[in-house]
Amino acid sequence: MRVVDVIHKKRDGGELTAEEIGVLVTGYSRGDIPDYQMSAWAMAVLFRGMTSAETAALTLAMAGSGDQVDLSPIHGIKVDKHSTGGVGDKTTLIIGPLVASAGVPVAKMSGRGLGHTGGTIDKLESIEGFHTELSRDDFIKQVNDIGLSVIGQSGNLAPADKKLYALRDVTGTVESIPLIASSVMSKKIAAGADAIVLDVKTGSGAFMKTVQDAEELANAMVAIGSEVGRQTAAVISDMDQPLGFAIGNALEVEEALATLKGNGPEDLTELCLALGAHMVVLGGNAATFDEAKELLRGKLASGEALDKFRLFIEAQGGDGRIADQPELLPKAPFTIEVQSNQSGYVNAIEAEQLGLAAMMLGAGRETKDSVIDYAVGVTLRKKVGDEVKQGDTLALLHVREQNESAAKVGERVLEAYTIENAKPATRPLLLSVVTA
């Protein structure tokens, strides 16, 4: 089989066989197929699309290109959760203990933050002593013992996707729904879960700018799940502004703790309950979504979800006292108020700009090797729909130093807010759900 013939076939709108896709993925992964041929193929896919059988074949080929985690020694149905990326997204910190407290095992691999989005592993490492590198046996033992473990992602999970994603990034081929769907699902499948709940974001702070595109992506991922025998559900949620109020590692842990105590922001709590309820249904511990949601509300109210969080932190070497004393978390020495220069209503907040602002303060990485400061970040005082008067505080910067660069970040935060005379129409956080 000649690679150029496969490229021709896709370019002319043909359907590739699983074998042809397998040869492409393995050949590219090994370095036998050059970047120029793979990028020509990716561009053909961008214009011609892929059938669900082709998308499933691509997903399985990429999932099989590296380590495949075997979670079968863990009792019960293992349900994983994945978010397509957001600013202030601390849902894993809440959903992990919440779902585990409802009896569904959570064996999760998470990533670090890069650019304007934060990563769960960095947030957890802001807790003194917490470690995210466990041996496979310790990981499995911990999930069997307490129902929850979160570790850093293996470097060799779906390496073909890693290589193809880097190529797509520089060849204008990221925005293909089958390529995004197979990229996300290949990593989830290699990570070993039996069922998957996806949080697909839409809006200014997300990859998918419209609800229609987000639904198309969700449908593609749920279809892959069905094709490869992993039950999958997708919740489409709004990312037109950051989730909750806190952006920055320790600040987000603090907000996650408040949520586990039932005092969290409404949007964050609602999203966690919705995603968690789908996980509990797929995990077989409730018959319906409503029943699962009630079960989870009970776990928040009884303190069991918070107890699970404490156990989890201690099991991975962290200081469990933070569950009751969040003031023990790293704290920035100074705060700077960002004040509104006009009166009106907040109509929009550019999430990506706030993510970048937090990164500039030191909460995120500009490059893979940047060292992050767990204490710094931004907390919002006003969100979309809130009335503001000139001089009101829109947000607080938590900074290491009160210097000129902190002042520049303040200007960026101010610019991220759009304030107009009219109150904006309310837009729901949860937009739709796609199930198989």
CB atoms near residue 154 (< 10 Å): 15
Both tokens assigned to 34: 């050059």
Instruction: Give 207's DSSP letter.
Output: S
Closest CA to 428 of 144, 149, 211, 111: 211
Q: Is 398 helix (H, G, I), strand (E, B) or coil?
A: strand
Query: Does residue 84 sit in helix, strand or coil?
Result: coil
Near ligand URA by CB under 6 A, which window of 88-96, 179-187, 374-382, 425-433? 179-187
58 touches ligand URA by CB under 6 A:
no
Residue 183 or 285: the one with the smaller Cβ distance to ligand URA is 183
Candidate list 33, 69, 184, 247; residue touching ligand URA; CB under 6 A: 184
CB of 173 to ligand URA, least distance (A): 9
395: tokens are 């947000």
Kindly indicate which of the ranges 175-183, 192-200, 314-322, 348-356 contains the residues binding ligand URA, using the contact rule CB under 6 A: 175-183
149, 278 Cβ separation under 8 angstroms = no
Phi-psi region of 240 (alpha: psi -120 to 50; beta: other; left: phi over 0): alpha
- Rounded-to-integer distance, Cα 408 and Cα 414, Å: 10
Compute the distance between CA of residue 117 and CA of residue 112 in angstroms, rounded to an integer: 9
Task: Mark the segment that binds ligand URA (CB under 6 A) among 39-47, 173-181, 197-205, 209-217.
Answer: 173-181
Residue 58 corresponds to which tokens in the numbers above? 């691509």
Q: CA-CA distance, 285 to 267, in Å (whole number)?
A: 25
Return phi, psi of residue 31, to 5°. 95, 5
CA 209 and chain centroid, separation? 16
Which two tokens mark 362? 């030191």
Q: How many CB atoms lie within 10 A of CB 82?
A: 23
Q: Which is nearer to ligand URA, 167 or 414 (CB)?
A: 167
Q: Give me the 116-155 binding string for ligand URA, x by CB under 6 A, dash otherwise.
A: ----------------------------------------
Q: Which is nearer to ligand URA, 114 or 174 (CB)?
A: 174
CA distance 167 to 179: 12
Shortest Å, Cβ 352 to ligand URA = 14
Q: For residue 81, which of 209, 230, 258, 205 has the smallest C-alpha distance?
A: 230
- Stretch of 63-71, 107-115, 178-186, 366-374 contacting ligand URA, by CB under 6 A: 178-186
Q: Which residue is nearest to ligand URA (CB)?
A: 183
Q: Does 183 bind ligand URA (CB under 6 A)?
A: yes
* Options 48-56, 125-133, 148-156, 176-184: segment touching ligand URA (CB under 6 A): 176-184
Query: Catalytic residue positions?
Result: 82, 161, 168, 183, 187
Nearer to ligand URA, 174 or 211 (CB): 174
Write down the least CB distance from residue 149 to ligand URA, Å: 22
Burial of 307 (0-12, 13-18, 19+ CB in 10 A): middle
> Which of 9-38 are b and which e, b meaning 16 or more Cβ less than 10 Å from the residue's Cβ?
bbeeeeebeeebbbbbbebbbeeebebebb
Q: Which is nearer to ligand URA, 173 or 316 (CB)?
A: 173
Residue 180 interacting with ligand URA (CB under 6 A): yes
Cβ distance to ligand URA smaller for residue 114 or 414 = 114
Build a one-symbol-per-residue string for 192-211: x at contacts with ligand URA by CB under 6 A, - elsewhere.
---------------x----
> Which CB, 140 or 221, lies closer to ligand URA?
221
Shortest distance, CB of residue 329 to ligand URA, whole angstroms? 29
Closest distance of CB 122 from ligand URA, Å: 18
Q: Tell me which residues touch ligand URA (CB under 6 A).
A: 165, 174, 179-180, 183-184, 207
